[in-house]
Structure 1
Amino acid sequence: MKPHHKNRGRAYYRHHRKRVIHRKVKIAKQTGWRSRFPGYFAKGKVHCSCQMCSQKTNADGFPHSQLIQLERLNRQLSDYFSKGE
């Protein structure tokens, strides 16, 4: 059995945490977001998932992809029936 030891030091984890936070802060500045402190961006997501921003939401009915598919099917039906006349 292998002895238990850490492969990476604290500096490694600090460096990558700082790198990730810096990238997310840059994205936030481009979109106009503000945060109280940069460490807020150490968490996972940097996108908004509210109902106004999300295209794929079930709160307002079908998902976006299914709405497009239904529109395409309705267009095909109307084209089919209009050619028959």
Structure 2
Amino acid sequence: MKPHQKNRSRAYYRHHRRRVIRRKAKIAEYNGWYVPSNGYFAKGKVHCSCWMCSQKTNKDGFPHSQVIQLERLNSQLSDYYSEEE
């Protein structure tokens, strides 16, 4: 069995972490967001992915799978309310 060997050095990981943080900080600066320190950008996303902010959903509508799911939910609701009467 081979001993555990690292493929990449610490400098490699530091470089890419700095690169990603720099990119996200530029996005935040462009949008005018207040950020106390750049460490907030070490992980995670910079954009909001809610349905109101997502450009793709607003432009193209919901994906086909979600349209079908919404239709099923609406039919279940209509069936439920028609059974009560």
With structure 1 as the length reference, what TM-score do the two structures score? 0.57
Distance 2:33 2:45 in 1: 13
Paired amino acid for 1:30: Y
| CA distances 1:13-45 after superposition (whole Å, capped 9, x unpaired) | 111000000000011111111211001011120
Amino-acid identity (%): 68
> Which residue of structure 1 aligns with residue 48 of structure 2?
48
Q: Matched residue pairs, number?
A: 60
> Which residue of structure 2 aligns with residue 3 of structure 1?
3
Q: Which runs of 4+ in 1 moved over 3 A?
A: 49-52
> Which residue of structure 1 aligns with residue 61 of structure 2?
65
| CA distances 1:28-72 after superposition (whole Å, capped 9, x unpaired) | 11111121100101112010235652465xxxxxxx725xx9xxx
Greater helix content? 2
Distance 2:26 2:9 in 1: 27
- Provide the alpha-carbon RMSD of the alignment: 2.3
Paired amino acid for 2:8: R
**Gap runs ≥5 in structure 1:** 57-63, 70-85
